[in-house]
Amino acid sequence: MPETAKPRVAVIGLGSMGFGMAMSLRRAGLEVTGCDVSADSVKRFVAEGGKGAATPAEAAKSADIVVSVVVNAAQTETILFGKDGVAETLAKGAVFISSATMDPDVARRLAKQLEETGRHYLDAPISGGAQRAAQGELTILASGSPAAFSKARPALDAMAAKLYELGDDAGQGAAFKMINQLLAGVHIAAASEAIAFAAKQGLDIRKVYEVITASAGNSWMFENRMPHVLDGDYAPRSAVDIFVKDLGIIQDMARSQKFPVPVSAAALQMFLMTSAAGMGRDDDASVARMYAKVTGTRLPGEPK
Amino acid sequence: MPETAKPRVAVIGLGSMGFGMAMSLRRAGLEVTGCDVSADSVKRFVAEGGKGAATPAEAAKSADIVVSVVVNAAQTETILFGKDGVAETLAKGAVFISSATMDPDVARRLAKQLEETGRHYLDAPISGGAQRAAQGELTILASGSPAAFSKARPALDAMAAKLYELGDDAGQGAAFKMINQLLAGVHIAAASEAIAFAAKQGLDIRKVYEVITASAGNSWMFENRMPHVLDGDYAPRSAVDIFVKDLGIIQDMARSQKFPVPVSAAALQMFLMTSAAGMGRDDDASVARMYAKVTGTRLPGEPK
């Protein structure tokens, strides 16, 4: 592209996060082509004034920047190197921004594989919900070569309120994200254990929420997720199975490094138990509901 | 006492918390008598202008309010009903404020036993460190009869920035405090697991601290305790063995109620392992040091 032209961006994955990110990119004046396995999502984006594409290859054909917004490493690899994948058409020198949470070793492998073909790879997991995605106010934990950062910057600026530049190597962003997920997962499980145990004691759990959020036992996740339990509302903002995946990656990483992580191992079992009980696609605060069901403890909105 | 007179207060236990609370009470204009198993602590309080007593019985003799600031139920029971205990001398109608963290059933038993002798009992566990104790800015989780609250109020006002009134029955304050301790203990263990695991990945743990405290993986304990790890400073602000005790109480309560608490059970094992490795009296952030030692991971201030 000429130096003065706005870069063209392809967004692959128009779910609750990707759609908001694509809209933030458009608001910043970039030309954005959206692509999703759901044709309806693409239609919706086109109705908002975006461009649509049928495949990642088609979306990437004229892009300077590709933003991949899918849930895991396998989907990212398919988008890159599968049939009709980005690597078939993306111009040399363009950059691929990967936002999925994954094992740092896998991020390094995907980056190496793409960079050997003359394109850049930015390892850039995201934090913040759908609302912050739509507002262009995500936190992005990024690592990659200076060239990858430089190419990606117009898109990063449009999507992030807070950009952490965590080193030259792909994998660093992923590693920071995994540490965050370890903590976030344990805190959801602990919050669930605590609130259900409090209900079992007969405590008023609204009062528990008030006391804990003002005390040393507070966590970001306790404060953010426990209102779902107070309201008995388990419509998924983020699903149980996301942490089945992410705490699973932690276990894989830790086992391969011979590093014991018993606290997050226990938390993973609680997410697995909740998923096994049929709540895998429900909101991750459903772990509290699982504790309550198992122990015959009454929570708001649950049958006696 | 005449209604217009300032109540006289006895503080039993002049450790880092009790000393600060006694000073806050004095600052509020109350007459305070201090007592401690350490004669030096009493001398120090007298040097600051307070009164000293040799035994709980002596301290309580002319008190309208007794504030007990010890670490557990056994010490509280000794102070109340042991030889030279408060119950030997405390006037009828006076109030005993118990700040130790304990099993709610034990708090109920001690309250019943004291109230049968015509004195009031306020179950009032505290939260906040030595600094907030000295400033009269503790959080107090209190429950007890209206008469107990009424009698205790001048002391509560002098010691607390935030007073939660959690019901008429002793045991409610203790139960809320135990829920807080469940979460606080899990969060310290999770923070320790995460920071040591991050160091194992070769991440810059100061950067990890910066990223996590701005992300969804944050907790009050991560933010408060992990600077001790960054600085390699394990001088005890709060010791490992406090959570060996408090998470132990959680396990006892949960087991007796047939309520599984696997996440806090895993956290307890990590505190036990840290204590077993000789760090029981060190700062509770030493759990991170234990993870690092076991796995051969280098943390700041630790030998290679």
State the alpha helices, DSSP H only, in chain B: 16-27, 39-47, 56-60, 73-81, 104-115, 130-134, 146-159, 172-200, 205-213, 220-230, 240-256, 262-274, 286-295
Q: Which strands sit side by side in the sheet containing B138-142, from one edge to the other?
A: B126-127, B138-142, B160-165
Asked if B199 is an interface residue toward chain A (Cβ–Cβ < 8 A), one would say no
A170 contacts A118 by C-beta, under 8 angstroms:
no
Q: What is the pLDDT of residues B41-86, one digit of tens each?
A: 999 999 999 999 999 999 999 999 999 999 999 999 999 999 999 9
Average pLDDT estimate for A62-85: 97
Please check the confidence at residue B299 and state whether its pLDDT lies above 80: yes
Q: What is the mean pLDDT of residues A271-283?
A: 98
Residue A1: the pLDDT is 47
Query: How far apart are the C-alpha atoms of A215 and A209, rounded to whole Å?
Result: 10
Domain A8-168 grouped into CATH 3.10.20.30: no
The alpha carbon of residue A205 and the mean position of all alpha carbons in its chain are separated, in whole angstroms, by 29
Give CATH superfamily name and number for B8-169. Answer: NAD(P)-binding Rossmann-like Domain (3.40.50.720)
A76 has pLDDT over 80: yes
DSSP for residue B87: G
Given a cut of 70, whether residue B2 has pLDDT beyond it is no
| pLDDT for the residue B303 | 64
Q: Is B261 on the interface with A (CB under 8 A)?
A: yes
Long-range CB pairs of A269-274, under 8 A, 24+ apart, other chains included? A269/B262, A270/A189, A270/A192, A270/A193, A270/B262, A270/B263, A271/A185, A271/A189, A271/A240, A271/A241, A271/A243, A271/A244, A271/A247, A272/A244, A274/A240
**pLDDT band at A73; cut points 50, 70, 90:** very high
Integer Cα distance of B105 and A39 in angstroms: 60
- From B212, B214, B260, residue closest to A183, measured CB to CB: B212
| B287 in contact with chain A, both atoms CB, cutoff 8 A | no
What pLDDT band is residue A252 in, cutting at 50, 70 and 90? Answer: very high
**What phi and psi values does residue B120 have, to the nearest 5 degrees?**
-95, 155
Q: Categorize the per-residue pLDDT at B1 as very low, low, confident or very high, splitting at 50, 70 and 90.
A: very low
Kindly report the average pLDDT of chain B as a whole number. 96
Which of A141, A197, A262 is facing B254, going by the closest CB pair?
A197
Query: Where exactly are the structural domains of chain A?
Result: 8-168, 175-295
Share of chain A above pLDDT 90, in %: 94
pLDDT digit string, tens, across residues A190-215? 999 999 999 999 999 999 999 999 99
Q: Could you say which of B43, B92, B177, B200 is catalytic? A: B177
Q: Which residue of chain B has the CA closest to A181?
A: B217
Averaged pLDDT for residues B7-13 = 97
Residues in chain A with CB shorter than 8 Å from the CB of B295 are 258-260
CA-based end-to-end distance of chain A: 64
CATH hierarchy code of domain A175-295 = 1.10.1040.10
The answer on pLDDT for B4 being more than 80 is no
Q: Give percent above pLDDT 70 in chain B.
A: 98
Q: Which residues of A touch B172 (CB under 8 A)?
A: 203
Q: Chain A to chain B, count of Cβ pairs less than 8 Å apart?
A: 196
pLDDT in tens, B231-254: 999 999 899 999 999 999 999 999
> What's residue A303's pLDDT?
64
CA angle B298, B300, B304 (to 5 degrees): 40
Q: Please check the confidence at residue A2 and state whether its pLDDT lies above 60.
A: no
Best residue of B197, B250, B291, B297 to probe chain A, by most A CBs closer than 10 Å:
B197
- Looking at chain A, which residue has its C-alpha nearest residue B185? A217
Question: Which residue from A minimizes the CA distance to B180?
Answer: A217
Q: Is B230 in the A-facing interface, judged by CB distances under 8 Å?
A: no
CA distance A90 to chain B (A): 32
Q: How far A190 CA lies from chain B's nearest CA (Å)?
A: 6
Could you read off the pLDDT of A135-156 as tens digits, one per residue?
999 999 999 999 999 999 999 9
Confidence (pLDDT) at B129: 84
ipTM of the complex: 0.94
Residues 152-171 of B with CB under 8 A from A: 162, 164, 166
CA distance A93 to B85: 80
Q: Which residue has the higher pLDDT, A129 or B191?
A: B191
pLDDT digits (tens, 9 = 90+) for A11-41: 999 999 999 999 999 999 999 999 999 999 9
> Alpha-carbon distance A164 to B42, whole Å?
52
Contacting residues for B139 by C-beta, under 8 A, at least 6 apart: A214, A215, B126, B127, B128, B132, B160, B161, B162, B163, B164
Please give the share of chain B, as a percent, with pLDDT higher than 90: 94
**Least confident interval from A88-97, A124-133, A148-157:** A124-133
How far apart (Å, rounded) are the C-alpha atoms in residues A199 and A299?
A: 7
What integer pLDDT is reported at residue A4 of this predicted model? 55
What are the pLDDT digits (tens) for A104-128? 999 999 999 999 999 999 999 999 8
Instruction: State mean pLDDT over A224-245.
Output: 96
For residue B151, indicate whether it is catalytic. Answer: no
A141, β-bridge pairs: A164
Any B CB within 8 A of A296 CB: no
